[in-house]
A and B are shown apart, each in its own frame.
Chain A
């Protein structure tokens, strides 16, 4: 079993729909990250959170530390939101903070 599990693996939505991507983890963490990867490869960090909720524009990320679960929500989805969304957890090794990644959720938003 992977340390970081995401669901669903693939998601197709129509423009305007509310989208939820889920992430569960099984290890102790210092923070949880949501990342976005567009076709072509570049990865950008969307959120880093260790408790509660963060919002940036139409994106909302929540985390429940007790349940070891996080969700990424996209409100009023748009075709430009089409990308792979990756959940990752960070743990401290003593020399650096390392990330362990989920396998990603591929989102396609259609008109």
Chain B
């Protein structure tokens, strides 16, 4: 089974702090994604990566950056956390372009609260 893990289930940070959310997948997937999920808005794509060191902006990239130095690991960085970034953050991975399926496998989520 594919396993996607996230570094924390719950995180509380203060306004202005730099925040790192880590995601690791163990199935050699090419693609990795970061989403945030808010009530009434559903999941929205922040950034995705289709290869090591390659990234593309999603629908709501403002205030976030990402890093993918190794294939299995995709990090989401909040450079200066703000209260409007309080949300559930979900990581996902998928096999990759032209590899037969685009089913995404999700991590358990990190509930981030910014005070």
CB 8 Å contact bits of B15-32 with A (1 = contact, 0 = none): 000000000000000110
B41 near A45 (CB under 8 angstroms)? Answer: no
A residues near B88, Cβ cutoff 8 Å: 41
A44 near B106 (CB under 8 angstroms)? Answer: yes
Q: Which of B45, B97, B105, B111 contacts A45 (CB 8 A)?
A: B105
Task: Tell me how many residues of A have a C-beta within 8 Å of chain B.
Answer: 24
A residues near B41, Cβ cutoff 8 Å: 103
A residues near B94, Cβ cutoff 8 Å: 96-97
Given A43-B106, A44-B106, A86-B42: 5 more A-B contacts, CB < 8 Å: A30-B102, A33-B104, A96-B102, A99-B102, A103-B42
Which of B's residues lie within 8 Å of A, judged by CB? 30-31, 33, 40-45, 48, 50, 54, 56, 58, 88, 90, 92, 94, 96-97, 101-109, 111
Which of A's residues lie within 8 Å of B, judged by CB? 30-31, 33, 40-45, 48, 86, 88, 90, 92-93, 95-99, 101-104
**5 residue pairs, one from A and one from B, having the closest CB atoms:** A41-B109, A97-B102, A43-B106, A103-B42, A101-B43
